[in-house]
Amino acid sequence: MSVSTNTAPQATGARQVSWYEASARTRVSQLLDESSFKEFLGPQEREMSPNLKSFDLPEQFDDGMIVGRGLIKRMPVFVAAQEGRFMGGAFGEVHGAKLTGLLRASRDIGSIPVLILFDTGGVRLQEANAGELAIAEIMRAVIEARIAGVSVIGLIGGRAGCYGGGGLIAGCCSALAVSEQGRISVSGPEVIETNRGVEEFDSKDRALVWRTMGGKHRRLIGGTDAFVDDTIEDFRETALSLLADTRPFTLQTLHEEQARLEWRIQQFGTSADAIDIWRSMGVDDAAAIPEMTYAQFTAAAQKIRRPNHAAR
């Protein structure tokens, strides 16, 4: 059964809405062809977290994870979307199991790619062990799907970013697309500051957070395959082009990925700030990168020697 949700009709410009501002349900319905989304375990099933009750915390009917299938320019895809405003999009037992199940279905079918719309702070602390296990299961399921020939594409541009276990899962994907607002990392700013001190990382310094973890930096150092504008339309077009360009996943791919990451740490491992990295990559006006518009940044990024994005 399809769930009606309040999304503007897909008439002129409806897909021009901000990905960052949109809810997970709006992202899914506008990313896909009109009315093509069919949800699995929808909110009416009330498949909610079994653990939040004991903490006297409110539940959400879909546990913050929307999974299903649909069409993107008439191509069948599986879709999973996290709602970043519910508990920071964090992974719990049910939330994680819904994604694991979707990925295993894609592995068994072997021909339908998966789009993961990340928006997460990582594991839900109230469901710590179940959440950590979910991350491990999802990472395995992503890899198994890819071995079976399925592309798993991550789309990142939500307000919670893609942190903790979400960052690990993103690292396992076939390809990633990120907007300027999307941040990808494992330990978040507050976590680093708490553990290593404010001299190591000042989480209150928003400019520092964005240039260390934000979409522009990830694009420049090859942490993402595509940099997109913050509209649902651009995420849709980019998802299509990433789906059209997927390579087989073998042991050789992993060796190449390892070499790529080793090269990166050799090149940039001693840099104290992202701006130093951009400068050493040959960006003309490195300090101006954070202020650049989407168009200016895309032009600047294309001029520099592109780090090896190929392996994954």
Partner 1 sequence: MQDLTFTHEVAERATGNTKLAITGVVASGNLEVLVERALPEKQCVVKIRTTVRGFDPVWKAVVDGFVERFPTGGLRFSINDGGARPDTVSLRLSQALRLMEKTEQ
Binding site for partner 1 (CB under 8 A): 1-6, 23, 25, 42-44, 53, 56-61, 83, 85-86
Which one, 159 or 260, has the nearer CB to partner 1?
159
Which one, 86 or 201, has the nearer CB to partner 1?
86
Measured distance CA(87)–CA(69) in Å, rounded: 24
Other beta carbons within 10 Å of 8: 12
Other beta carbons within 10 Å of 233: 17
Q: How far apart are the first and last CA of the chain?
A: 36
Question: 């993402």: which residue's tokens?
Answer: 224
Which one, 131 or 214, has the nearer CB to partner 1?
131
Question: 């964090």: which residue's tokens?
Answer: 90
* Residue 256 structure tokens: 């190449």
Query: Collapsing DSSP states into helix, strand and coil, what is residue 279?
Result: helix
Which one, 59 or 205, has the nearer CB to partner 1?
59
Measured distance CA(233)–CA(235) in Å, rounded: 5
Other beta carbons within 10 Å of 104: 15
Which one, 45 or 276, has the nearer CB to partner 1?
45
Question: 């006006």: which residue's tokens?
Answer: 285
